[in-house]
């Protein structure tokens, strides 16, 4: 056999799993289809970022990659304020209230992926093949043979599909999944505002969807995620800059003043996906390949990192077992399915609750936000849960 484990997809989740396995000397191949562009501190901020929880930070520390993230750039945020556009309901979380230095970090996805891929160079048992695209696989009794688009073939005990929401591994393995089309798109871009963000993540819920301003290392720069019905998001991409800045400023109720300038805009269709089974003989899915969720609380990659940690821990704890055995892989699925499903359904619930235009629901959510804001113990628990602690 060429390797013990082949990971298809060297994105954030696949590369994190490779680091955890490389640390303990597992023979791993990472297949990554796209070469990530190199990073320079002078580069403008990317429009794809992730809000990383404390649990994810700890996993990246454990994987040896967090220092590499900090060497490029990351933005700790000390507070988060969420409010409803239809009333006076508001909740504010502060790191100091729960005895933490910050609530998490905003990190560009490219920075995170590059930090992990750089870390992998320290682990000689891990080979990163990039660009390399998986195109097929076949099972034999003792191993799985993985085919690449360049015609080459590799073998291992286990193939991990960390190849994202359009997972090829998932479709080749014929693992069925359920999909909910949210009929929304998330518009993303970098913006500069008249007022400083104060290291705070700002999120305002409108009935069309939430708009979030996530603080970047420059005190006047934020990365925005603006959820809109799909047709309105498409229209927003076509507005001239002046109109986009005005409408976006209004969407946040000008909490950070006027929008001074914007970067390149992009929109991503939002849909929830969950595989019915995360595993089959010699194959396991993790990250977006197994589940995608609504980004309103920024939990997607945080869940993917927990998947990577659970699978790595099982592999390390079961040295003498065939890693492709269904018995072992089912334990991984059992460890992760409940948390992923609960988070996915909670996000769908919030999206429905805050999208409801009926007066009783508006009253309920506004009173709910205000009440929880005053219940310090419950608020403390919510903050700890969001941080993955």
Ligand X SMILES: Cc1cc2nc3c(=O)[nH]c(=O)nc-3n(C[C@H](O)[C@H](O)[C@H](O)COP(=O)(O)OP(=O)(O)OC[C@H]3O[C@@H](n4cnc5c(N)ncnc54)[C@H](O)[C@@H]3O)c2cc1C
Ramachandran category for residue 199: left, alpha or beta (phi over 0 → left; psi -120 to 50 → alpha)? left
Q: Does 34 bind ligand X (CB under 6 A)?
A: yes
Candidate list 3, 4, 5, 9; residue touching ligand X; CB under 6 A: 9
Q: How far is CA 20 from the centre of its chain?
A: 18
Candidate list 6, 31, 95, 156; residue touching ligand X; CB under 6 A: 31
User: Using CA atoms, how far apart are residues 13 and 286, in angstroms rounded to an integer?
Assistant: 8
Q: Does 223 bind ligand X (CB under 6 A)?
A: no
Q: Does 344 bind ligand X (CB under 6 A)?
A: no
Tell me the closest approach of the beta carbon of residue 30 to ligand X, in angstroms. 9
Residue 112 or 256: the one with the smaller Cβ distance to ligand X is 112
Candidate list 20, 28, 33, 273; residue touching ligand X; CB under 6 A: 33
Total number of residues that touch ligand X (CB under 6 A): 32
Order of strands, edge to edge, in the sheet holding 283-285? 126-129, 28-31, 5-8, 158-161, 283-285, 279-280
Q: Does 168 bind ligand X (CB under 6 A)?
A: yes
Residue 159 or 256: the one with the smaller Cβ distance to ligand X is 159
Q: Which of residues 265-324 bind ligand X (CB under 6 A)?
A: 268, 287-288, 295, 298-302, 304
Cβ atoms of 104 and 53 closer than 8 Å: yes
Nearest to 69 by CA among 31, 105, 17: 105
Q: Does 59 bind ligand X (CB under 6 A)?
A: no
Q: Which of residues 183-202 bind ligand X (CB under 6 A)?
A: 186, 188
Q: Does 164 bind ligand X (CB under 6 A)?
A: yes
Tell me the closest approach of the beta carbon of residue 44 to ligand X, in angstroms. 18
Tell me the closest approach of the beta carbon of residue 10 to ligand X, in angstroms. 6
Residue 155 or 302: the one with the smaller Cβ distance to ligand X is 302
User: Using CA atoms, how far apart are residues 100 and 98, in angstroms rounded to an integer?
Assistant: 6
* Residues 73-102: x where in contact with ligand X by CB under 6 A, - otherwise, as a string: ------------------------------
Q: Does 161 bind ligand X (CB under 6 A)?
A: no
Residue 150 or 253: the one with the smaller Cβ distance to ligand X is 150
Q: Does 210 bind ligand X (CB under 6 A)?
A: no
Binding site for ligand X (CB under 6 A): 8-14, 31-34, 50-51, 133-134, 162-164, 168, 186, 188, 225, 268, 287-288, 295, 298-302, 304
């Amino acid at each position: 056999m060429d390797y013990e484990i082949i990971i298809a997809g060297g994105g954030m989740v696949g590369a994190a799993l490779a680091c955890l396995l490389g640390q303990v000397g597992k023979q791993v191949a990472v297949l990554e289809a796209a070469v990530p562009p190199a990073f320079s501190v002078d580069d403008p901020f990317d429009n794809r970022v992730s809000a990383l929880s404390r649990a994810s930070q700890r996993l990246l520390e454990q994987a040896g990659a967090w220092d590499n993230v900090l060497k490029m750039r990351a933005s700790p945020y000390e507070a988060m304020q969420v409010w409803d556009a239809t009333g006076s309901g508001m909740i504010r979380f502060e790191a100091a209230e729960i005895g933490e230095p910050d609530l998490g970090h905003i990190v560009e996805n490219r920075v995170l992926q590059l930090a992990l891929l750089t870390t992998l160079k320290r682990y000689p048992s891990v080979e990163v093949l990039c660009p390399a695209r998986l195109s097929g696989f076949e099972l034999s009794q003792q191993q799985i043979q993985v085919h690449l688009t360049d015609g080459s073939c590799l073998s291992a005990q286990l193939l991990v599909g960390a190849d994202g929401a359009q997972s090829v591994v998932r479709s080749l393995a014929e693992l069925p999944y359920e999909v909910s089309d949210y009929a929304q798109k998330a518009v993303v871009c970098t913006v500069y505002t008249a007022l400083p963000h104060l290291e705070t993540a700002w999120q305002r819920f409108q009935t069309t969807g939430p708009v979030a301003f996530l603080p970047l290392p420059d005190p006047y720069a934020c990365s925005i995620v603006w959820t809109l019905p799909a047709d309105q998001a498409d229209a927003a991409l076509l507005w001239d800059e002046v109109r986009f800045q005005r409408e976006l400023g209004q969407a946040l109720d000008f909490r950070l003043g006027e929008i001074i300038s914007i970067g390149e805009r992009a929109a991503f269709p939002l849909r929830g996906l969950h595989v019915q089974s995360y595993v089959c003989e010699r194959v396991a899915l993790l990250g977006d390949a197994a589940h995608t969720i609504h980004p309103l609380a920024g939990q997607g990659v945080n869940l993917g990192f927990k998947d990577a940690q659970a699978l790595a821990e099982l592999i390390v704890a079961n040295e003498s077992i065939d890693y492709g055995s269904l018995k072992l892989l089912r334990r991984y699925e059992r460890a992760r399915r409940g948390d992923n499903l609960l988070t996915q359904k909670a996000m769908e619930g919030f999206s429905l609750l805050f999208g409801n235009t009926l007066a009783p629901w508006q009253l309920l959510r506004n009173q709910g936000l205000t009440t929880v804001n005053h219940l310090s113990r419950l608020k403390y628990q919510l903050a700890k849960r969001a941080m993955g602690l």
